[in-house]
Structure 1
Amino acid sequence: MKRVTWQNALGLLALSIGISSAQASTVATTACPDISQDTQLTLARYVERSLCANLDTRAAWQRVQTQRAQVGAANSGYYPSLNISASSSRDFGDRVAGTDPDQRTLSANASWLLYDFGGREADVSQAKNTLASLQASADASIHSLAAQAVTAWFNRLAAEASFASAKSSLAAAKETAEAAEKRIKVGVGTREDTLQAQTALAQAELVLIQREGELAASNGQLAVLANYPANTALTPQTTLPDPSQLSAPPALAVLMQLADERRPERIAQEQQVAAAESSLDQLAAQRLPRISLNASAGDSRNSFGQRDSGQVAVTATLPLFTGFQQRYQERGAQSQIDQQTLELDRIRQQVGLDVWLAWQQVNTARSRIDATDSLLASAAESSRAALARYRAGLGNVLNVLTAQSTLADARQQQARARFDWASARVQLARAAGLLTASPDAAFQDIQP
């Protein structure tokens, strides 16, 4: 599996907003760019800032570094150990006449485990598998955070589009109210029409207030995810590509296969299974002999003289009985393997479901774009016609208000459909494990 970096994690940009690899490579080179002053904030800059500054990704990286140290500690079992000790003592109690109360000793001891039937190898393997699992988990954290950042980005844009739609609806409601007032003045309108128009105007004002609050809330979420205070004002770009200009995702079967190969959650769990198997191998090695080489040298001195000592020995140790501890430890290790294997199967099922749901969301969102475009065009024409007829004295205000309400809903649906489509493509890339691809290759280099 490719390691996730800030640069290749930006592969989501190619599929969501259609930038090129040259554009993606020009993302700020600073570790954590300050995007609060960007007047036209790009998705590339926002995702990079979120990945770099978020506390969860930093914590995941520290866990990886801790486990790297554990791998080094496991490898130390292949090297000999050497100890030197020195002591100086004086005896203040009763002693045999003629003996020296002062005693000085210097000794050195060396021990080297020569062979243990794979115990050290299993220990190192467990540490390495755990490290690989933590690295994959860190990748999964980056994937998850990147998806959260994109979701927050498009929610912010959708909230802004909803606010703009509410402003347009308010303007239309004011126009209708003015038309109703003019009809009363010329003697062709009714008080009921005026009251209905004013009611619709008040409702449009309430909707605008609500949309403004939603916009502020989405901007706060956008800022916090990038590790800024919630009141930090970010100004993201609102341009989205034409759906017809981006390539379609690969076939569903291809994406499911890619997900099973690349999803970091599955890779992390697979390494957990391997680590559990190494633990069982380590316990099994404890049943077998351990052959070690030991050497010692010493020097002892007092007022009567000096005495040197030394020894070299090869020792074989075979455990005969441990009170059934070994048996139960191996049973526990085997049970742990079974649990981790079941969890791996569950994750594989979830990965397949994630791809399936994301695939359906992309197709649904793409179809909604065409449908909402047609809906908006017809609703706009209907609203214009209804207002023109009302001004000419040929219609009633209910038809105008109904047409305007339909138009406001159509604007809202069109904006949401486009942002949902862009977000759904990113979610599909994440579900398929493609956020580790290069910036140009999210979907384009995957062949059916």
Structure 2
Amino acid sequence: MKKYQPFLLTILLLALFPALAKSEVPIQKGERLNLSRCVETALRNHPVVQGARDTIRIGESRIGQAQANYYPQVNWQTDYTRINRSRTGNSTYSDYNSSVVLSQTLYDFGKTKTSVNIEKLTTDSFRQDLHRAETEIVYGVKSAYFSLLQAEKNRDVAVETVAQFQHHLTQAKGFFEVGTKPKFDVTKAEVDLSNAVLNRIRAENDLRIARVGLVNALGIPSAPEFSLDDSPLFQKEKIDLADALERAYRNRPDLQSIGKKVEAADESIKLARKGYYPYVTGSAGYGYSGEDFPLRDGWNVGALLNVPLFSGFQTRYAVEEAKASLDVLRANEASLRQTIRLEVEQALSNLREAQERTEATRVAVRQAEENAELANGRYDAGVGNPIEVTDALVSLSNARTAYIAALTDCRIAQAGLEKSIGKRD
């Protein structure tokens, strides 16, 4: 019985903790993914998002570095010097020193506080950069998701078209064998079938490429095979320009990021001006020194007032640089607002056009289906010709493909609108 214990223990652990075994793989083979699942996976795994998170860590470390001036600095100093005094009989002796020194900035007119505020604002800007990266990733996932659905639907249309032309070829051969149709009908049907097969091959290749695009958008290039939920392809959402602009100005992470940079630049002007002010530091030390062992111990306490009298106009130019940097950021902020309005208006226009095209192509599909049914019926009755059937089936295939493209463009335009207003889910 003992030799089966490890095996039984493994089975028990897998039964008790199935989620533990599953969590190691972001996507399970054969899993059916919906849009929200894909977005969640990308935000958790894409290296661009991880890089933006690491940038925030850099900012948080810089905050800690700036705050270091609030605390005392403790150093251990030790030195040995060999001294020769030729004027006193050419005597030579050694000098030993070893001490622990504590120094503390007592007052610096708010320089440290301002430096900490600048780093905090800069880190807040990094957080908005993370949100912007997430927005870009979400848009990329949605575009790739709907492009893959489009490729799947186009492949299905191509497969169905091949089946229809195969059926037509079988009919033509039957009519030719009984002598009611010429050889031309068979040859024409064979050519049409070959063209349909070529279209199917291209559609299958487009499907493979679209799948590669989605797994890369998810940040998991080695993802196993999976299927997609196609219900989001048929969803609709209405939004007007005023509401979109209001949401964009409130939520766009790049606008929020530059706003934090403007605040940090304003603080930088204050910090540069503090170069005109003095600062006071205190120090204390305890150590041993002497020419020979045992060394004598001693301590010291002192304060230092440093008053900048003239620094070659360095502070003046530092203030001017900070002011110019602030002006540049404010100009960039105004330019970004104009760009945001342009992006929102273009996205809304693209969405309206895609929605109108969706309705038009839906009608075209219904008409093409009726036309194909009539053409096939006429040919079955022996009164039609193969050109009518070919034209009808090609028109039906084109209409269905156009409808799928309109649906896809509509959803991608919706994703573009969501990106332009700063939506991250």
Match in the other structure for 1:327: 316
The answer on whether the counterparts of 2:30 and 2:225 sit within 8 Å (CA) in structure 1 is: no
1:203 and 2:195 matched:
yes
Q: Distance in 2 between matches of 1:177 and 1:28?
A: 55
Q: 1:379 to 1:108 in 2, by over 3 A?
A: same
Give deviations 1:74-125, integer Å, cap 9, x for gaps.
Answer: 1112223232323456669989689894544333333322332332222112
Question: Offset of 1:347 from its aligned partner?
Answer: 2.0
2:234–2:407 contact (8 Å) kept in structure 1 = no
Normalised to the residue count of structure 1, the TM-score between the two structures is 0.82
Distance 1:304 1:213 in 2: 86
Separation of aligned partners in 2, 1:304 and 1:145: 69
- Structure-2 separation of matches of 1:210 and 1:303: 91
1:209 Cα offset (Å): 0.7
Name the structure 1 match of 2:150.
158
1:143 aligns with 2:135: yes
Kept in 2, the 8 Å contact 1:113–1:291? The answer is yes
Q: Does 1:293 align with 2:276?
A: no
Name the CA distance, whole Å, in 1 between partners of 2:140 and 2:86.
Answer: 78
Q: Check if 1:386 corresponds to 2:375.
A: yes
Q: CA separation of 1:327/1:61 partners in 2, compared to 1, >3 Å: closer, same or farther? A: same
Secondary structure at 2:379's aligned position in 1?
helix
Q: Which amino acid aligns with 1:320?
A: L
Contact 2:42 2:138 in 1 (8 A): yes
Could you say which structure has the higher helix fraction? 2
In 1, Cα distance between the equivalents of 2:36 and 2:21?
12
| Residues 118-144 of structure 1 deviation map (CA, whole Å, 9 limit, x = unaligned) | 322221121111101111101111111
Letter of the aligned partner of 1:43 in structure 2?
L
8 Å contact 2:35–2:232 — kept in the other structure? no
Q: Name the aligned partner's letter for residue 325 of structure 1.
A: Q
Deviation at 1:29, TM superposition (A): 12
For the structure 1 residues 81 and 52, does the alpha-carbon distance in structure 2 shift closer, same or farther, using more than 3 Å as the test?
Answer: same
CA distance in 1, matches of 2:24, 2:419: 23
In structure 1, C-alpha distance between the alignment counterparts of 2:201 and 2:293, rounded to whole Å: 100
Q: If the length of structure 2 is used for normalisation, what is the TM-score?
A: 0.86
Does residue 1:43 correspond to 2:32, yes or no?
no
Of 29, 34, 52, 2:26 maps to: 34
2:334 matched to 1:345?
yes
Deviation per CA, 1:141-197, whole angstroms, max 9, x where unpaired?
Answer: 111111111111111111010000011111122222333333333434334433333
Percent identity for Structure 1 against Structure 2: 25
| Structure with more contact order per residue of length (Cα contacts < 8 Å, sep ≥ 6) | 1
1:167 alignment partner in structure 2: 159
Instruction: Tell me which of 260, 268, 271 is aligned to 2:249.
Output: 260
Which whole-Å CA distance do the structure 2 matches of 1:238 and 1:82 have between them?
65
Structure 1 stretch 41-50 or stretch 80-89: which is displaced more? 80-89
> Shift of the alpha carbon at 1:422?
3.1
* Aligned match of 2:225: 233
Residue 150 of structure 1: SS of its match in structure 2? helix
Quick one: distance in 1 between partners of 2:203 and 2:297?
90
Q: Is the 8 A contact 2:146 2:233 kept in 1?
A: no
* Alignment correspondent of 2:67: 75
In structure 2, relative to structure 1, the CA distance for the partners of 1:429 and 1:304 (3 Å cut) is: closer
Are the structure 2 counterparts of residues 434 and 229 from structure 1 closer, same or farther at C-alpha, using a change threshold of 3 Å?
Answer: closer
> What is the aligned length?
407
Instruction: State the AA in 2 paired with 1:371.
Output: A
Deviation at 1:204, TM superposition (A): 0.8
- Answer yes or no: is 1:361 the counterpart of 2:350: yes
In 2, the alpha carbon distance for the partners of 1:139 and 1:363 equals: 27
Supply the distance in 2 between the matched residues of 1:211 and 1:45 (Cα, whole angstroms).
26
CA RMSD of aligned residues (A): 3.0
Work out which of the residue numbers 153, 156, 168 in structure 2 matches 1:176.
Answer: 168
